[in-house]
Amino acid sequence: MDVHPTPVPPPGCPAHDSGGGVPLYGPEFAADPQAYYDYLRHFGPTAPVELAPGVAATLVTDYAAALDLLRDPAFRKDARQWRDLRSGKVPEDSPVVPLLAYRPNCMFADGAEHQRLRLAVTESMMRIDSRRLAQITEQVSAYLIAQFSARGSADLMADYAKQLPLFVFNELFGCPAEIGDRVLFGIAGMFDGVNAAESAQLLHRAVGELVTLKRERPGDDVTSWLMGHEADLTDEEMVHQLSLLLGAGAEPLRNLIGNTLHRILTHDRGAYQDVRNAVNDTLWKNPPIANFAAHYPADDRMFAGQRVTTGQLMLISFAAANFGMALSESHHAANRASLAWSAGPHACPSQRPATGITVTAVDDLLGQLPDIELAVPARLLTWRPGPFHRGLNALPVRFSAVQAMGQPAVPVPAQHAMARAEHRAEHRRAGSAGKWSQFLAWLRK
């Protein structure tokens, strides 16, 4: 008879010394999250975790249980029901609160209010023409690649994956240069932790100006379509929906592009002649958002064999649920049913454009730099710590240098100096001409 030993926490996991939840933060978790998920599964379909010091949550790690929760209206999205935050047990300045606390947008709404806001967002996003989206993505990717192709080396996270989604979204949402620069700056600061509170305020003000502009001069863009929707959103509702779409859309897409490139560069390139297969494998085995989709039970109840209580914070582990299903006998490589986009009434409304942007961005990069390869051993790559996302700190690569047409090759040391100077200058000017202005100038040559 087989004897299965009781799993123990991964090396370095503070759960070794505590009876509390398993921590999903810190370098140990970021380095090997699957070891943590393997350990969490011994609790059953749900497990006690800690998102930050003192912030307890229940994590759903089983695929079937995750689907049940995501589709069950008895689990609410309104974060004002979060019991531990209401009671003061979770400090308001906790690093996870900004992404979990209530805002008046469709992600935190339930019932009829959710349907009204969600329909406006979904129908506006559906109006994006796939050919126009591909054209914009190709233009942005060509611009970004031209900035580093002559060097023969790059960090694909900082130089490509991080910037491309923001540039594409600015175009789709009709941001003029004077507003788009601040949108880029605000989003980057929020996710990079560079004066996060000030960056969030900057983004909010910039989006407010965009709403005012589009009220006066609507255009052929997502902002104007959302504004003209029959849901008749107020200016405040517009600002919150747009901030959600711009901010929450940028981080997952950044990681999806980076993680897909990581998968291609660390596996047999021949297995991914079709980039869509690499994207699909990434969504199953290394999704860009690992743990999220906060829900709160509306009452005390049993769920997946465990008792849960009103207002208890519950999250879905897309990474654990997907990986467990991907290892099962019933899974097939072409299966598109991963939970990376969530499921149920709150499934990601940007799945189609996000997939299109990723496929085009990766295809363009590999097409222009066909001999691209990792510049360091894969084992030396590091991942950004945090309970929610799954993204690389950096993805250094090398390739045969390509001189951009009409541009003289710049020596590598000078390029590095220019990049550092640009980085410093951007942080000095949160509103003057920046990267978005530079891209628009390049596009109109």
Tell me whether residue 12 is in a domain: no
Tell me whether residue 302 is in a domain: yes
Tell me whether residue 9 is in a domain: no
At 415 the pLDDT is 41
Write the burial class of residue 375 (CB in 10 Å: 0-12 exposed, 13-18 middle, 19+ buried). Answer: middle
Number of domains the chain is built from:
1
Domain that holds residue 141: 20-443
Tell me whether residue 212 is in a domain: yes
At 12 the pLDDT is 56
At 19 the pLDDT is 54
Biggest alpha carbon distance in the chain? 75
At 332 the pLDDT is 55
Tell me whether residue 5 is in a domain: no
Tell me whether residue 61 is in a domain: yes
CB under 8 Å to 63, separation ≥6 — which residues?
321, 322, 324, 325, 339
Is 0.95 surpassed by the pTM of this model? no
Tell me whether residue 15 is in a domain: no
CA–CA dist 175, 167 (Å, integer): 10
Write the burial class of residue 230 (CB in 10 Å: 0-12 exposed, 13-18 middle, 19+ buried). Answer: exposed
At 80 the pLDDT is 97
DSSP 19-62: SSPEE--SHHHHH-HHHHHHHHGGG-SEEEEEEETTEEEEEE--
**Spans in the chain with pLDDT lower than 70:** 1-19, 190-197, 327-335, 404-433, 440, 443-445
Residue whose C-alpha is closest to residue 311's, from 21, 94, 80 = 80
Tell me whether residue 1 is in a domain: no
CATH of the domain at 251: 1.10.630.10
Residue whose C-alpha is closest to residue 422's, from 136, 176, 147 = 147
Residue whose C-alpha is closest to residue 323's, from 338, 342, 344 = 338
CA–CA dist 207, 245 (Å, integer): 11
Residue whose C-alpha is closest to residue 134's, from 350, 361, 351 = 361
359 to each of 134, 288, 396, how far by Cα in Å? 9, 15, 20
At 98 the pLDDT is 81
What the block records as the tokens of 319 is 């990474």
At 429 the pLDDT is 40
At 409 the pLDDT is 41
At 7 the pLDDT is 57
